[in-house]
Structure 1
Amino acid sequence: MNLYNSKYHEGDLSSHTFLITGGAGFIGSNLVQYLINHGAGLVRVLDNLSNGYYSNIEEFIGLKNFEFIEGDIRDLDTCKATLQGIEYVSHQAALGSVPRSIADPITTNDVNISGFLNMLTAVKDTPSVKRMIYAASSSTYGDSTILPKVEGEEGDPLSPYAVTKAVNEMYADVFSKVYGCHTIGLRYFNVFGPKQNPDNPYAAVIPIFCKAFIEGTQPLINGDGKTSRDFTFVANAVQANIKSMLYTGLAQHEIFNVACGSQIDLNGVITLLQETTGKDLQPTYRQERMGDVKHSLASIEKIKDTIGYECEYSFKQGLEIVYDWYLNNN
């Protein structure tokens, strides 16, 4: 199934140039797929392959409108070099995962804050760049118990990862006010989909569950299974990126939730997988993870009203698609 037949933009992309940092990663490589499918003039990827995979972009190597640069956002000169001739930037490069940030806060800070500041600085100093979109996070809502989560109603961070993402937003807002360098931050809510690695030590829950059902093993749940999330299929996140990059009504730094505006708990995910696969696998429960938010549900009114985002794929549709993808790529 080609996810990206739907068109999230107007006009012709053949005269436009794009940089996707972290473009060999999960969301980044899906963005690349969309842009290549729709004939972008140039799609350049910057990735150090520490958290992304060459296999995610291998099919694009050799295309005349695709470039891959192996490099690190923690090097300012690299950031500046990769931006030459670029109009639109989608900054996806980051170290995700709450548990990883708890285990290694120094590296998480180095990549997510120092690397982000390098990219902001390079964008500010590169005249060709019209806009930068960056991967923000729902973790920024922290300990706030308000549901749904609305932009501007944040709590205190619960992990080093959440701190880094909150700092990104503060830096982006300051750059907007001080330098006129306006960006858009997309607060992703638990994005899942094809090209998300289930074997990564810090893999997300959906690929882990899918792998368990494919292999016929008991899925592991942290906590009692009543933890709920606004799981968001990756094509919805791609839509948000494309519409944000090409949005012309930007006069300041903006933050948008990217989600479906609905929630399901982990026990419910298992039930859907049982129905999808016909396998009656029962989960094993273990201790909750430190730093995890118990419940998450997004308001998507702001992004709908501002840039015309719509949740194209429901959680159930996305789960069926991604399970099929794992089954065929196992």
Structure 2
Amino acid sequence: MESNFKNKKILITGGLGFIGSTLAQRLAKMDADICIVDSLIPDYGGNNFNINGIENNLKVNIADVRDKHSMDYLVKGMDIIFNLAGTLSHIDSMKDPFTDLDINCRSQLSILESCRKNNRDVKIIFAGTRGQYGKADRLPVDEKHLMHPTDVNGINNIAGESYHILYNNIYGIRAVSLRLTNTYGPRHQMRHHKQGIINWFIRQLIEGQTIKLYGDGKQIRDINYVDDVVDALLLVSCCEKTNGEVYNLGGIPKNLIELVETMIGVYNKGDYELIPFDDDLKRIEIGDYVANFEKIKNTVGWEPKISLEEGLQSSFDYYEKYKEHYW
């Protein structure tokens, strides 16, 4: 697969964030010509330390994807765009729906318009989310499952994804969407829990805090290690069969008690307790979620390879070593 990316001009939006920087680390080893764009808005996850060791192998442009003039310039000549910029907080989207709308809808349309006017030959990979489905009607959830999200973020991600598929179908801008599930691993922001509970649990265990689980702790989550997600992004980006398609990612289903007990086992210490839901969280809780990822497996051969124990150990080791850059 490495030969597909050697000397290719690649733009990563949100590239100083969790998944974007891990992707950049991988592409740098493949001698790709990488440009990162990131707004570095506090709390969104961008972190200059995430590109530690590859700073000289890429360009970084501090810009907001909502800035049309910047994007008009940045998309020119690119072979591939990994469009990972966006917000993921279910809670924030309910408290401040217009910012979520701006970042997850307007900015996506702006990027696609820039491509339509300046680079119709590009391949663009959009990062969607399991939150688009809302509460599952059946498990496992496949791509034909109805989407009825429980929060504003899920609705706006549906729109963002739909814009990409529309521009593929109408303008021939090759686009594909991956609906990501709960992703964890190194380079995640660790200052708050709004973008992923698994990494927040990792911080709590490292700090010796008791992890608090809402409800009965039996809610099932589908879990992917970040390196497996990067594999999926790379595979769909260099396969023409993926154009105009949407794919679920999926992984290891665990209920939250099982997950936390596994984490405590890997870290060799820690504790948890069950607490009642507060009303705001209860209203947007999706219940159990398990993805059917047969479609992407059948198309490009992707399936998760990293075991939960292996991924957790790697994550604990990383944050123990570099926590000064994340806490």
The TM-score, its normalising length taken from structure 1, stands at 0.91
- The 8 Å contact of residues 223 and 285 in structure 1, kept in 2 or not, is answered as yes
2:34 corresponds, among 25, 37, 43, to: 43
The aligned counterpart of 1:265 is 255
**Residues 20-56 of structure 1: CA deviation (Å, up to 9, x unaligned):** 000001000000000012221x100000001212222
Query: Which structure 2 residue ranges, 5 or more long, are not aligned?
Result: none
The aligned counterpart of 2:15 is 23
The TM-score, its normalising length taken from structure 2, stands at 0.92
Distance 1:176 1:48 in 2: 26
The aligned counterpart of 2:310 is 317
Shift of the alpha carbon at 1:248?
A: 2.7
**Residues 227-282 of structure 1: CA deviation (Å, up to 9, x unaligned):** 111011001110011111111334x411011121x310111111112211222513
Larger mean CA deviation between 274-283 and 105-114 belongs to 274-283
**Residues 72-130 of structure 1: CA deviation (Å, up to 9, x unaligned):** 11111111111122100000000111111111111000000000101111122233743
Q: How does 1:32-71 map to 2 (within 5 A)?
A: 32-40=24-32, 42-50=33-41, 51=44, 52-61=46-55, 63=56, 65-71=57-63
**Residues 178-231 of structure 1: CA deviation (Å, up to 9, x unaligned):** 212231001000111101122135242111111111111111222221111101
Matching of residue 233 in structure 1 with residue 225 in structure 2: yes
The aligned counterpart of 2:321 is 328
**Cα pair distance change 1:10/1:282, threshold 3 Å:** closer
The aligned counterpart of 2:272 is 282
**Cα pair distance change 1:54/1:129, threshold 3 Å:** farther
Distance 2:199 2:271 in 1: 16
Higher helix residue share = 2
Distance 1:82 1:53 in 2: 20
The aligned counterpart of 1:80 is 72
The aligned counterpart of 2:115 is 123
- The 8 Å contact of residues 76 and 122 in structure 1, kept in 2 or not, is answered as yes
**Cα pair distance change 1:222/1:134, threshold 3 Å:** same
Distance 2:149 2:213 in 1: 23
The aligned counterpart of 2:286 is 293
Distance 2:320 2:273 in 1: 20
- The 8 Å contact of residues 193 and 318 in structure 1, kept in 2 or not, is answered as yes
**Residues 273-328 of structure 1: CA deviation (Å, up to 9, x unaligned):** 22112225132424152312111101111001111212111223212221222222
Q: Which amino acid aligns with 1:85?
A: G
- The 8 Å contact of residues 266 and 309 in structure 2, kept in 1 or not, is answered as no
Distance 1:68 1:300 in 2: 33
Q: Which runs of 4+ in 1 moved over 3 A?
A: none
Matching of residue 254 in structure 1 with residue 248 in structure 2: no
**Cα pair distance change 1:14/1:182, threshold 3 Å:** closer
RMSD: 1.7
Distance 1:129 1:177 in 2: 13
Q: Which amino acid aligns with 1:169?
A: E
- The 8 Å contact of residues 264 and 270 in structure 2, kept in 1 or not, is answered as yes
Q: Which amino acid aligns with 2:297?
A: K
**Cα pair distance change 1:202/1:179, threshold 3 Å:** same
How many residues in Structure 1 have an aligned counterpart in Structure 2?
A: 317
- The 8 Å contact of residues 267 and 313 in structure 2, kept in 1 or not, is answered as no
